[in-house]
Structure 1
Amino acid sequence: MNSLPVLELDLLAFPKAVPDLRHAIRRRLGEPCDDVQLCVTELVGNVVRHVGEGTPVRVRVMRAGEGRIRVEVADPDPRALPVLLCATGDDESGRGLALLDAVALRWGVEQGAAGKTVWCELGEVR
């Protein structure tokens, strides 16, 4: 990816960090960006739930060309991979990646020796 980050933050994955992260994204993009904020919230939330609170993460948001925005959330655990589930009305979890899948043009995971990066690309910022 050759694009320069609009936002790049290293933080610890705690639920209380998410509101400040959402505000930082809004400030840096300078326009309504509900879908970008939703994707970052879901990806950081997955780290909290599946890797653990306090996990160090790197969050990157960048313009990826052709009007797209790319969101990346990297963490040090290469094993806890996201899985798109089919949640029912009674399920209390399992909807996060379904939401991300619905708003993103595409998404995926890149694994490496130092962990993994879950990414998504969105079209027009909304």
Structure 2
Amino acid sequence: MENLRDALSVHGITLPSLRVDLPGFAGKRGSSGGLVALGNCNTPTARRLAEVLRGGAPDARPPLDVEFVAVAKALPGLRRTVRRYLGVPCPDVQLCVTELVTNVIRHVGEGASVRVRMAQTDVDRIRVEVTDPAEGVLPVSLAATPDDETGRGIALLDAVAARWGVERGSGGKTVWCEVVAELQGRAT
């Protein structure tokens, strides 16, 4: 069990428990719990676990995982970190990260603790997750007028991302999106 836990932690996967008989679990067909039953993990962890067990995306890097205090002056450094992680310019991914963190600053509060995770999930797809402590403050698409200076973040996310959503958990929420991105020419 500890070897499995160590191997998964290399990929950023931590499981709250491994009280499952893994050989017995793996041998069951049509298990109603699927991978979610493994370690009683949540859906995002189950997705990452499935990806790792399948061998991950071709040439995929380990996930980017950054925790910081959400303040406006952190955004330029975050955009640079995203670019370095991807190895090529990717304005759509940088826009999504910036808009999601800006929403935390604006609607949860400057100084809130935020965690940004990013991983390549397919040859041309990047998953971005932004977690904050405010479970009840959910993103809402606003109808901004042409003169409004704010209120377009979720509309931009909706336009740029292939898909996006919100997962609520105890002690916070995660707003995630998947962006199709050309990464073939990235540096190694």
> Is the shorter-chain TM-score for this pair beyond 0.5, marking a shared fold?
yes
- TM class, shorter-chain normalised? over 0.9
- Give distance in 2, aligned partners of 1:65 and 1:91: 37
> Which position in structure 1 is the counterpart of 2:156?
99
> Which position in structure 1 is the counterpart of 2:73?
16
1:89 aligns with 2:146: yes
- Give distance in 1, aligned partners of 2:62 and 2:145: 36
- After TM superposition, list the pairs within 5 Å mapping 1:38-77 onto structure 2: 38-77=95-134
Gapped regions of structure 2 (runs ≥ 5): 1-46, 52-60, 184-188
Deviation at 1:92, TM superposition (A): 2.4
Normalising by structure 1, report the TM-score. Answer: 0.94
**Which secondary structure does the structure 2 equivalent of 1:39 belong to?**
helix
Q: Which moved more, 1:20-29 or 1:64-73?
A: 64-73
Gapped regions of structure 1 (runs ≥ 5): none
Larger Rg, first or second structure (1 or 2): 2
**Which secondary structure does the structure 1 equivalent of 2:63 belong to?**
strand
Q: Give the superposed CA RMSD.
A: 1.5
Segments of 4+ moved more than 4 angstroms: none
**Structure with the larger strand share:** 1
**Structure with the larger helix share:** 2
- Give distance in 2, aligned partners of 1:40 and 1:26: 11
Q: Deviations over 1:20-55 (max 9, x none)?
A: 111011011101110110000000000000000110
1:7 aligns with 2:67: no
- Give distance in 2, aligned partners of 1:14 and 1:85: 22
- Give distance in 2, aligned partners of 1:116 and 1:46: 13
Amino acid at match of 1:11: F
1:112 corresponds to which of 140, 155, 169: 169
Deviation at 1:90, TM superposition (A): 1.8
**Which secondary structure does the structure 2 equivalent of 1:24 belong to?**
helix
Deviation at 1:121, TM superposition (A): 0.4
Q: Deviations over 1:58-87 (max 9, x none)?
A: 001111125210001000110110001121
Higher relative contact order (CA 8 A, sep 6+): 1
Normalising by structure 2, report the TM-score. Answer: 0.64
